[in-house]
């Protein structure tokens, strides 16, 4: 995150236009301190600037190499207002919008949070993919499509009592020979290296303790780094106190020779369909068996879910991210655009919607929402009118990876774009007179801990107008 300089200027008056704009002065007549370069700042109509929270330049490159000589509004006869910008001998224009690019990990002490900015909550710590622990109520920013993307994830509990491998019991049987070593990795925390030096059927590994198990569906995950050998590894073997044996599937085994040498990979496996109920205890294992082999394990996790979420040692609370709609969105006209990393776990059969964004909590009058629905396997953009009637555009979910989603609405059309292509539209939609909520929720539903997208969102743009098809295609 870009830090402000030492002893930063928190407020600076550039000019006071309350008595009318001076249209005769040119930049050449301004003193040096009357036209400073302001970066990462908010600028109000009276000419006061202050640090802006989590915002970066709207444009990748300056639109002019000349100083800005004036700003003015231009009211069109259709009721829209454009911002006119004079620079050099040219006039530029921009349509009103608000853009958030998630730029940093936290709000520096010397920066102010203006009213109306995003509100993020998570009542517990969390971990980033680089192993950094993030404090409660501080968002997690990861590498995104363009810079920093924000993660919005549901809560979870790791059923492993301790994720510190040094607290686990050694597991060497059947006359196996080998070594067990521990080290502190700067990214992956406490790591264990298992080395089996013989080609017998014995095992070299560790056994940990599980707690709080219930139900019949679990996902176990662990990071593995293959170092040498051809032995088979158990990425996670859960031996629970239940009728019918341990929770194990063929997908929990790997041959070291099939893994990329020297690279960390996360391996997950899900156990589902057992008619038995776990008794609440058991053990978890990692090991190398059969042929010789050497590998490292990190971040072990067992969750009562049909998919894996990011690692947590203990319990992670659900995350919420909201932005006030007042002054930003209009129920009669608007556009919301963002880049989303579509994850592999968005599949039919998983529980709950995966809301990319939404206004309102339950289906009803004034609710707007863009989401993935696991019951249909499709992306849906839905607006409920003032009578509570839903109008929905449904399209196939795109492939795993980064995709650009844009939804717009006006009296003449509601439409959904994916990667710049209009994939569906409804002519003359019946739009509600007001929103169902005072905030737009990004990647979540504020009162529900299960609708989170569990993925990264980048380059969010919220506009109070329905942008043209051409403008949306350019953004993609």
CA 105 to chain centre: 13
CA–CA dist 331, 407 (Å, integer): 13
Contact call for residues 1 and 104 (beta carbons, < 8 A):
yes
Same topology between domain 119-155+317-475 and domain 165-314: yes
| Cα separation values, 83 from 20, 68, 95, 248, 463, Å | 17, 13, 6, 62, 14
Beta-strand relationship, 282-289 and 203-209: antiparallel
Helices (H) and strands (E) in the chain, counts: 1, 35
CATH of 165-314, one of 3.55.10.10, 2.60.120.10, 2.60.120.200, 1.10.10.10: 2.60.120.200
Distance between start and end Cα atoms, the chain: 25
The predicted model gives 140-155 an average pLDDT of 91
pLDDT, tens digit (0-9, with 9 covering 90-100), for 394-452 = 999 999 999 999 999 999 999 999 999 999 999 999 999 999 999 999 999 877 777 99
pLDDT, tens digit (0-9, with 9 covering 90-100), for 14-43 = 443 333 333 344 445 545 444 444 444 555
- The pLDDT of residue 399 is 96
Structure tokens at 41: 């700042």
The predicted model gives 260-272 an average pLDDT of 86
pLDDT > 80? residue 392: yes
CA–CA dist 14, 8 (Å, integer): 16
pTM for this model (two decimals): 0.74
CA 19 to chain centre: 45
pLDDT confidence bin for 9, thresholds 50/70/90: very low
CATH of 119-155+317-475, one of 1.10.150.20, 2.60.120.200, 3.40.440.10, 1.10.3720.10: 2.60.120.200
pLDDT confidence bin for 74, thresholds 50/70/90: confident
Per-domain boundaries in the chain: 12-95, 119-155+317-475, 165-314
* Percent of the residues in the chain that have a pLDDT greater than 90, as a whole number: 42
CA–CA dist 438, 458 (Å, integer): 22
* Percent of the residues in the chain that have a pLDDT greater than 70, as a whole number: 74
pLDDT, tens digit (0-9, with 9 covering 90-100), for 290-330 = 888 999 999 999 888 889 999 999 999 999 999 998 878 88
CA–CA dist 58, 128 (Å, integer): 27
Q: Is 476 exposed, middle or buried (0-12, 13-18, 19+ CB in 10 A)?
A: middle
pLDDT > 60? residue 105: no
- The pLDDT of residue 476 is 73
Structure tokens at 340: 């989303």
- The pLDDT of residue 237 is 67
Lowest-pLDDT choice from 46-50, 158-162, 173-177, 182-186: 46-50
pLDDT > 80? residue 280: no
- The pLDDT of residue 60 is 57
Give the mean pLDDT of the chain.
79
Residue 231 or 430, more confident: 430
pLDDT > 50? residue 107: no
């Amino acid at each position: 995150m870009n830090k402000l300089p030492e002893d930063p200027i928190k407020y600076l008056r550039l000019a006071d236009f309350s008595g009318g704009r001076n249209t005769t002065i040119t930049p050449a007549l301004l003193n040096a301190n009357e036209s400073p370069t302001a970066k990462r700042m908010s600028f109000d109509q009276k000419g006061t600037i202050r640090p802006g929270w989590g915002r970066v330049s709207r444009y990748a490159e300056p639109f002019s190499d000349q100083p800005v000589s004036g700003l003015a509004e231009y009211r069109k006869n259709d009721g829209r207002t454009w911002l006119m910008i004079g620079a050099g001998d040219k006039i530029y224009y921009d349509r009103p919008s608000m853009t958030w690019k998630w730029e940093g990990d936290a709000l520096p002490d010397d920066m102010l949070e203006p009213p109306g900015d995003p509100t993020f909550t998570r009542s517990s710590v969390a971990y980033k993919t680089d192993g950094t622990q993030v404090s409660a109520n501080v968002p997690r920013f990861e590498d995104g499509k363009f810079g920093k993307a924000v993660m919005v994830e549901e809560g979870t509990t790791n059923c492993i009592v301790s994720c510190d491998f040094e607290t686990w019991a050694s597991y060497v049987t059947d006359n196996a020979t080998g070594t067990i070593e521990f080290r502190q990795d700067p990214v992956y925390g406490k790591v264990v290296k298992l080395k089996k030096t013989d080609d017998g059927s014995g095992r070299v590994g560790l056994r940990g303790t599980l707690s709080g198990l219930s139900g019949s569906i679990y996902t176990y995950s662990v990071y593995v780094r293959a170092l040498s050998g051809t032995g088979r590894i158990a990425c996670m073997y859960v031996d629970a106190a239940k009728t019918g044996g341990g929770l194990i599937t063929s997908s929990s085994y790997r041959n070291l020779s099939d893994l990329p040498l020297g690279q960390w990979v996360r391996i997950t496996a899900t156990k589902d369909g057992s008619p038995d109920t776990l008794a609440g205890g058991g053990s978890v294992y990692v090991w190398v068996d059969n042929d010789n082999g050497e590998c490292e394990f990190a971040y072990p996790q067992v969750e009562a879910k049909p998919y894996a979420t990011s690692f947590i040692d203990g319990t992670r609370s659900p995350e919420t991210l909201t932005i006030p709609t007042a002054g930003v969105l209009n129920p009669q006209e608007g556009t919301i655009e963002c880049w989303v990393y579509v994850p592999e776990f968005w599949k039919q059969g998983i529980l709950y919607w995966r809301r990319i964004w939404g206004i309102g909590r339950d289906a009803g009058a004034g609710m707007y929402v863009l989401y993935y629905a696991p019951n249909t396997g499709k992306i849906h953009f839905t607006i409920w009118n003032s009578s509570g009637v839903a109008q929905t555009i449904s399209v196939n979910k795109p492939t795993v990876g980064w995709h650009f989603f844009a939804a717009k609405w006006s009296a003449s059309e509601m439409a959904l774009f994916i990667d710049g292509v209009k994939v569906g539209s409804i002519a003359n939609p019946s739009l509600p007179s007001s929103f169902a909520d005072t905030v737009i929720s990004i990647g979540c539903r504020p009162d529900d801990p299960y609708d989170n997208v569990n993925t990264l969102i980048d380059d969010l743009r919220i506009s109070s107008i329905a942008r043209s098809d051409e403008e949306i295609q350019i953004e993609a």
